[in-house]
Amino acid sequence: MHRSFTGKKLVVASHNQGKVREIGELLADFGVEPISAGELGLPEPVEDGDTFIANAKIKALAAAERSGEISLSDDSGFAVEALNGDPGIYSARWAGPSKDFGIAMKTIQDKLEEAGAGDNRRASFICALCLAWPDGHTESFEGRVWGDFTWPAQGEKGFGYDPVFTPEGMDRTFAQMDPAEKHTISHRADAFRQLIDACFPK
């Protein structure tokens, strides 16, 4: 049995305002007020897990323990098949200290050229969600969406690697889509459907 979320306040264990905004939009129908870890001045824990779910748990538990509130974390990344799944859990690190995803996206293109990947541009976005309670209980879910790495980058919407990802069956990148359209097919939407089905009372 999954534990139900019955509160109105939820700490989002992230300092990424784009991610916090997107999570808020996905939970809008449940009357949940998202508060970011950044707004509360919570430090970012060291993410030394070896999977998306492990890192999501680290962040959610740290926020729940420090805030005393139920906390939700999202650990997501971009995986390119021809690069053996890189950047994967290191997706944010590839953007460097300045979080410049333009550099990260160009690095993927350069590595694909070096690897002689040719037409193999298959890629996916993965999202792990962890809901953590101050008593240490957690609920975790993982979503994924497949598509292709697109170069050059296209679109101004979204954030992170959105400008270089075209989902299967589409002719536009995530960064060219309106948020409402992206929310219906994204990796985060997939993980949220699982979370809502399991933990939010009907």
Q: What pLDDT score does 30 carry?
A: 87
CATH number among 3.40.50.300, 3.60.15.10, 3.90.950.10, 3.30.2020.30, domain 9-199:
3.90.950.10
Confidence of residue 83 (pLDDT cuts 50, 70, 90): very high
Q: What pLDDT score does 33 carry?
A: 84
- Per annotation, catalytic residue among 48, 74, 75, 197: 75
Residue 201 has pLDDT above 80, yes or no: no
Contact predicate 199/5, CB 8 Å: yes
Q: Tell me the three-class secondary structure of the chain, residue by residue.
A: CCCCCCCCEEEECCCCHHHHHHHHHHCHHHCCEEEECCCCCCCCCCCCCCCHHHHHHHHHHHHHHHHCCCEEEEEEEEEEHHHCCCEHHHCCHHHCCCCCHHHHHHHHHHHHHHHCCCCCCEEEEEEEEEEECCCCCEEEEEEEEEEEECCCCCCCCCCCCHHHEEECCCCCCHHHCCHHHHHHHCHHHHHHHHHHHHHCCC
164 half-sphere exposure, CB direction, 13 A CA radius: 23
| Percent with pLDDT over 70 in the chain | 100
For the stretch 162-193, pLDDT in tens is 999 999 999 999 999 998 899 899 999 899 99
User: Cα(114)–Cα(116) distance, rounded to whole angstroms?
Assistant: 5
Tell me if residue 74 is catalytic: no
Across the chain, mean pLDDT equals 94
For the stretch 29-58, pLDDT in tens is 888 888 999 999 999 999 999 999 999 999
How do beta strands 71-80 and 33-36 pair?
Answer: unpaired
Residue 87 has pLDDT above 90, yes or no: yes
For the stretch 122-166, pLDDT in tens is 999 999 999 999 999 999 999 999 999 999 999 999 889 999 999
Q: What pLDDT score does 19 carry?
A: 78
| Percent with pLDDT over 90 in the chain | 80
- Beta-bridge partner residues of 165: 149
Residue 21 has pLDDT above 80, yes or no: yes
Q: List strands edge to edge, sheet with 165-167.
A: 33-36, 9-12, 71-80, 122-132, 138-149, 165-167
Q: What pLDDT score does 20 carry?
A: 84
Confidence of residue 16 (pLDDT cuts 50, 70, 90): confident
Q: What pLDDT score does 180 carry?
A: 87
For the stretch 111-124, pLDDT in tens is 999 999 899 999 99
- The number of residues making up the chain comes to 202
